[in-house]
Structure formats: structure tokens, C-alpha cells
Amino acid sequence: EVADEAWLRHKMRNDSFVVDLFQGQYKSKLVCPVCAKFLVSISKENSSASDVLESISQSVRVKMENLRLAEVAKHRFHRMFRPSCSVDSVSPSDVLLCFEVLSPELAKERVLVLQVQQRPGVSSDLHPPGTAPRGLCKR
């Protein structure tokens, strides 16, 4: 019984197009002949993240609501796109990264998505009251 549950959880964690792509098991993918990266091209002006996600969803056969789109700039996650956001401001040198989040139905348990953002600077919480740097003081 424990082994069955462990195997089921292993399959749920690893049953994704991301694993398929990185393990070379996904058979119909769009690959750039120059850089060998998985590609989705959006040619319309005023494209939204929804347009990109829809195209990827059709290519990899994953529900659009289970996909997330992020912009990576200078080797860091720069921002996460809501479906209604425009992607026109993305620089050609930046990378759009798409990943899959399991639905509760697929995971067969509650799925909690957390977004953590690091901001440079020192939190005023780390200073004794009245000694916080002025730039961080909320007065």
C-alpha cells in the first residue's frame, strides 16, 4: 500500500511536459535548428500572455489554466505574466519561460501556488524600533 502511494506520487510529480522535454521523451516538439531550444512564436502585435499560453497549450496538450508564463532577465525571474498582460514589452534578449502547475484534479490534492519576490535592501523589521534606515522607514 505504501509502495503504491509512493509510485502514484512519483508519477504525479513527473507526469508533465517539462519532464518529457528534458528527458527527451516528448516526440512532437518545435525545436530551433540553431540553438536547439523549444520555440513558440507569436507574430501578432499587441499579443497577450494568453496568446502565448494558448499556443503553448495546443503544442504540448496541457490545459492553458495549468500553465504559467514568466520573463527571465539577467538570469533572474523578472516578472510573472497574468493572462491579460501584454508581452509586447519583452525584449528580444529576454527569455519567456513557461511551466506547468498541476491542477487539484490531476494532483488529487490541494495545490498551493506561492510566489516569492526578493527585493533588494534591508527590511526595517531587522532594526530596533527608531533605528531603521530613513529610506525604508514608513513614517
Query: What ranges do the domains of the chain cover?
Result: 2-104
Q: Is 56 exposed, middle or buried (0-12, 13-18, 19+ CB in 10 A)?
A: buried
d(CA 118, CA 36) in angstroms, rounded, equals 31
Predicted pLDDT at 25: 37
d(CA 27, CA 5) in angstroms, rounded, equals 29
C-alpha cell at 48: 497577450
Q: Provide the 3-class DSSP secondary structure of residue 81.
A: strand
pTM value > 0.75: no
**Dihedral (CA of 69, 71, 77, 81) sign:** negative
- Among the ranges given (4-13, 53-62, 101-110, 113-122), the one the predictor scored with the smallest mean pLDDT: 113-122
Q: Does the domain spanning 2-104 belong to CATH 3.10.20.90?
A: yes
Grid cell 502585435 is found at: 45
20-66 pLDDT, tens digit per residue, is 555 543 334 566 777 766 655 555 567 788 888 888 888 788 899 99
Is the separation of the CB atoms in 29 and 38 below 8 Å? Answer: yes
